């Protein structure tokens, strides 16, 4: 990176930066160099986060103060092999509250989701991609994000099951569906597009049953606006959860190189015939004429 770039306090556009430890002989760029760039707007991609020196450096970036950023990529690739506490680095890189696009890649830290990945901190977040987080065995509670419209989960190779924790209901379900609640909680209330790719160990997508309360009759409390579902190279996944089978909003179902799931969907075709477009390995088994 150019020397002295951190002094360009009026800089508005910075598409991509690579964090370096300077071992290659080039001028090192650190997260602290983002500190005074408070006018950044649009999209910012930060790569090489595995090279961050420590959490103090990450905090100095002050990402949460850059109110004009609408897209943020946090990528832990390009690591030179030096170990860092990636969980505390990720926690310190809290996006601004009005960010709309978030991409987290190649995170190698422990199974600790950042505390800021919630509805109160990121109420306007619309598009999320999570990929290559090699040590996560569970997915974060993204279902509680109120504005989330599209979600991609890619190469999460240790995830074996997806359950209520993904919906964001696991820790709140008692309050959300208790008789004292004024309304039931809706998981993924705005989600329209959902894609899973290369989930090689994923075997179970667990059904979620609404607790037997006065809200048990409420329909579509999970992904009520979902229109497109794509599953690619999920070789061990056996079935879809019941709450997806009855979604009247679902218009597109695409299954690619998922042998068990392909067989399941062919057997269950009468139950999912309300979905206008169903494609298995590139071939439509059902296609709307409209």
Instruction: Compute the distance between CA of residue 206 and CA of residue 203 in angstroms, rounded to an integer.
Output: 9
Q: What is the DSSP string of 119-172?
A: TTT-TT--EEEEE--TT-SS---GGG-TT--EEEEE--TT--EE-HHHHT-TTT
Residues 157, 203: Cα–Cα separation, whole Å: 11
User: Are residues 32 and 61 in contact, defined by beta-carbon separation less than 8 angstroms?
Assistant: yes
Model confidence pLDDT, tens digit, residues 35-75: 887 768 789 999 988 888 788 989 998 999 999 999 999 99
Neighbouring-strand partners of residue 286: 278
Strands 228-232 and 193-197: parallel
Tokens at residue 211, please? 């607790």
Cα gap 106→49, rounded to integer Å = 9
CA 112 to chain centre: 14
pLDDT tens for the chain, 290 residues: list them. Answer: 566 565 555 566 777 788 876 555 555 678 888 888 776 878 999 998 888 878 898 999 899 999 999 999 999 986 555 556 888 999 999 999 999 999 999 988 777 889 999 999 999 999 999 999 988 999 999 999 999 999 999 999 999 999 989 998 755 443 444 444 455 678 999 999 999 999 999 999 998 765 544 444 445 689 999 999 999 999 999 999 988 988 999 999 999 999 999 999 999 999 999 999 999 999 999 898 76
Please answer whether residues 245 and 210 qualify as being in contact, where contact means their C-beta atoms are separated by less than 8 angstroms.
Answer: no
Q: pTM here?
A: 0.87
The alpha carbons of the chain give a radius of gyration, in whole angstroms, of: 21
């Amino acid at each position: 990176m150019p020397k002295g770039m951190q002094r360009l306090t009026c800089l508005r556009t910075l598409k991509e930066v690579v964090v370096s430890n300077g071992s290659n002989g080039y001028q090192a760029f650190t997260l602290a160099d983002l500190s005074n760039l408070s006018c950044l707007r649009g999209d910012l991609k930060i790569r090489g986060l595995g090279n961050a020196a420590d959490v103090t450096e990450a905090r100095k970036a002050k990402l949460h103060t850059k109110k004009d950023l609408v897209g943020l990529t946090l990528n832990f690739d390009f690591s030179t092999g030096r170990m860092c506490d990636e969980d505390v680095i990720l926690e310190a890189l809290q996006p601004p509250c009005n960010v709309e696009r978030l991409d987290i890649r190649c995170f190698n830290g422990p199974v600790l989701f950042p505390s800021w990945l919630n509805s109160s901190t990121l109420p306007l977040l619309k598009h999320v991609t999570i990929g290559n987080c090699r040590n996560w065995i569970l997915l974060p509670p993204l279902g509680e994000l109120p504005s989330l419209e599209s979600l991609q989960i890619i190469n999460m190779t240790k995830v074996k099951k997806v359950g209520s924790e993904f919906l964001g209901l696991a820790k709140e379900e008692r309050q959300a569906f208790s008789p004292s609640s004024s309304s039931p909680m809706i998981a993924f209330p705005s989600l329209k597009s959902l894609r899973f790719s290369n989930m090689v160990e994923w075997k179970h997508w667990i059904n979620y049953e609404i607790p037997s309360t006065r809200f048990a009759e409420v329909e579509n409390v999970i992904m009520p606006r979902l229109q497109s579902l794509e599953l690619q190279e999920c070789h061990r996944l056996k079935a879809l959860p019941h709450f997806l089978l009855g979604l009247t909003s679902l218009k597109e179902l695409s299954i690619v190189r998922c042998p068990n799931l392909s067989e399941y969907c062919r057997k269950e075709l009468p139950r999912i015939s309300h979905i206008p477009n169903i494609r298995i390995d590139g071939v439509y088994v059902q296609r709307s004429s409209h």
